[in-house]
């Protein structure tokens, strides 16, 4: 026959495992619907224990918890190495929240902020290969751990630690009153730098295309001039050619006469040398080229 159970299974369950609290705390009857305030975060043992204890104590006071509730609820905020420490507490060793608080702060005291000379904020410097964004984040963390450093000292310390001369000049033009105001200026400077870099990357292909286009046009113009010069080097002189040339350019004087003027000697740019083997050129002489190959009046570079 099955055994008749006399235990009330609807009652709140309480584990029989060993408790780190004394009997008056471990056997305390908790009120229903106790909830952890949302502003109380989990603690893993790597940050300042005073900060975590302060937030938890403030929330517990607002909730008006009794002392045993403080003890049990505090344990729910621990994880990682902090939870390992909490679970290692001896059985029945905690008789009040004050005892738990002292043990907690003593164990994690190495993580506590300590008082340093506020002048030490000036020792926080941007490293050689450290970006401005990374230094800004590191400076905020390290300077906050130096108790006693005023807002003004933190502002001046940052200005002393950065490497950008342009940003230093900008901050010294109007020294910010607060760290928040200073960081807004720094963020704007970073955004401007990023925009300039992005613009340069966008312009680079266009500059390359323009350069290639100029090079192509120069080569084409030079090739066209060279081909034209070669084509007419060996053209024999004839009155018909002179008349045609004079008709096309509406000249009153021949090219040889123009070349003999003072204006031509001063204002004309010397032509490119004639192409081809000199021994195979036309015997006629060009005064503009000072070389043989065609007649002066047939020179296409005049």
pTM of the model: 0.42
Asked if residue 12 belongs to a domain, the reply is no
Asked if residue 46 belongs to a domain, the reply is yes
Q: Where is the domain boundary, 74, 96, 111?
A: 111
Asked if residue 213 belongs to a domain, the reply is no
Rounded to whole angstroms, the Cα distance separating 181 from 174 reads 11
Q: What are phi and psi of 114, to 5 degrees?
A: -125, 155
46 and 74 part of one domain: yes
Which CATH number belongs to the domain containing residue 126 in this structure? 1.10.1200
- Residue 112 and residue 39 in contact, taking contact as beta carbons nearer than 8 Å: no
82 and 144 part of one domain: no
67 and 46 part of one domain: yes
Check residue 89 and give its pLDDT: 94
Q: From the centroid of its chain, how far is CA 154?
A: 23
Q: Where is the domain boundary, 156, 184, 204?
A: 204
Asked if residue 2 belongs to a domain, the reply is no
81 and 127 part of one domain: no
177 and 125 part of one domain: yes
DSSP labels, the chain: ------S-TTSPP---S--SB-HHHHT--PPS-----TT---B-SSS-HHHHHHHHHHHHHHHT--HHHHHHHHHTTB-THHHHHHHTSPTT-B-SHHHHHHHHHHHTGGGS-B---GGGGGG----TT--HHHHHHHHHHHHHTBTT--HHHHHHHHHHH---HHHHHHHHHS--SSHHHHHHHHHHHHHHHHHHHHHHHHHHHHHHHHHHHHHHHHHHHHHHHHHHHHHHHTPPP-HHHHHHHHHHHT-SS-HHHHHTSHHHHHHPPPPPPPPS-GGGS-S-EETTTTEESS-GGG-TT-
32 and 106 part of one domain: yes
Full domain range(s) for residue 87: 23-111
- Total residues belonging to the chain: 302
Check residue 250 and give its pLDDT: 44
Number of domains in the chain: 3
Asked if residue 3 belongs to a domain, the reply is no
75 and 45 part of one domain: yes
Asked if residue 1 belongs to a domain, the reply is no
106 and 124 part of one domain: no
Predicted confidence pLDDT, tens digits, the chain (302 residues)? 455 556 677 766 666 567 899 999 988 888 878 899 999 999 999 888 999 999 999 999 999 999 999 999 999 999 999 999 999 999 999 999 999 999 999 998 876 665 567 888 889 999 999 999 999 999 988 888 787 888 999 999 999 999 999 999 999 999 999 999 999 999 999 999 888 888 888 776 766 666 666 656 655 554 555 555 555 555 555 554 544 444 444 446 677 777 677 666 666 677 788 888 888 888 888 887 788 888 878 887 76
Asked if residue 152 belongs to a domain, the reply is yes
Which residues 6+ apart lie within 8 Å of 177 measured at CB?
Answer: 151, 155
Q: Return the CA Rg of the chain.
A: 46
Asked if residue 225 belongs to a domain, the reply is no
Check residue 29 and give its pLDDT: 85
105 and 140 part of one domain: no
Rounded to whole angstroms, the Cα distance separating 30 from 69 reads 7
Check residue 114 and give its pLDDT: 58
190 and 144 part of one domain: yes
107 and 127 part of one domain: no
Check residue 210 and give its pLDDT: 65
């Amino acid at each position: 026959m099955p055994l008749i159970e006399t235990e009330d299974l609807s009652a709140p369950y309480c584990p029989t495992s060993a408790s780190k609290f004394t009997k008056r705390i471990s056997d305390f009857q908790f009120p229903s619907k106790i909830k952890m305030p949302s502003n109380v975060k989990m603690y893993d043992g790597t940050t300042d224990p005073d900060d975590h204890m302060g937030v938890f104590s403030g929330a517990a006071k607002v909730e008006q918890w009794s002392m045993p509730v403080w003890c049990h609820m505090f344990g729910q905020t621990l994880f990682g190495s902090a939870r390992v420490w909490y679970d290692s507490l001896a059985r029945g060793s905690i008789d009040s929240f004050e005892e738990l608080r002292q043990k907690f702060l003593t164990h994690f005291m190495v993580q506590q902020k300590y008082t340093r000379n506020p002048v030490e904020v000036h020792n926080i410097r941007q490293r050689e290969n450290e970006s401005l964004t990374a230094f800004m984040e590191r400076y905020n963390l390290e300077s906050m751990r130096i108790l006693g450093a005023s807002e003004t000292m933190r502002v001046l310390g940052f200005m002393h630690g950065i490497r950008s001369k342009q940003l230093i000049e900008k901050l010294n033009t109007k020294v910010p009153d607060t760290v928040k105001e200073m960081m807004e200026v720094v963020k704007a400077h970073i955004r401007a730098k990023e925009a300039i870099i992005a613009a340069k990357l966008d312009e680079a292909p266009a500059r390359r295309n323009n350069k290639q286009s100029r090079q192509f046009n120069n080569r084409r113009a030079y090739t066209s001039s060279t081909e034209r010069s070669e084509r007419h080097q060996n053209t024999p002189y004839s009155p018909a050619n002179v008349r045609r040339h004079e008709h096309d350019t509406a000249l009153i004087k021949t090219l040889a006469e123009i070349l003999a003027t003072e204006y031509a000697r001063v204002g004309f740019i010397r032509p490119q040398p004639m192409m081809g083997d000199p021994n195979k050129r036309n015997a006629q002489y060009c005064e503009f080229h000072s070389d043989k190959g065609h007649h002066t009046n047939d020179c296409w570079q005049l």
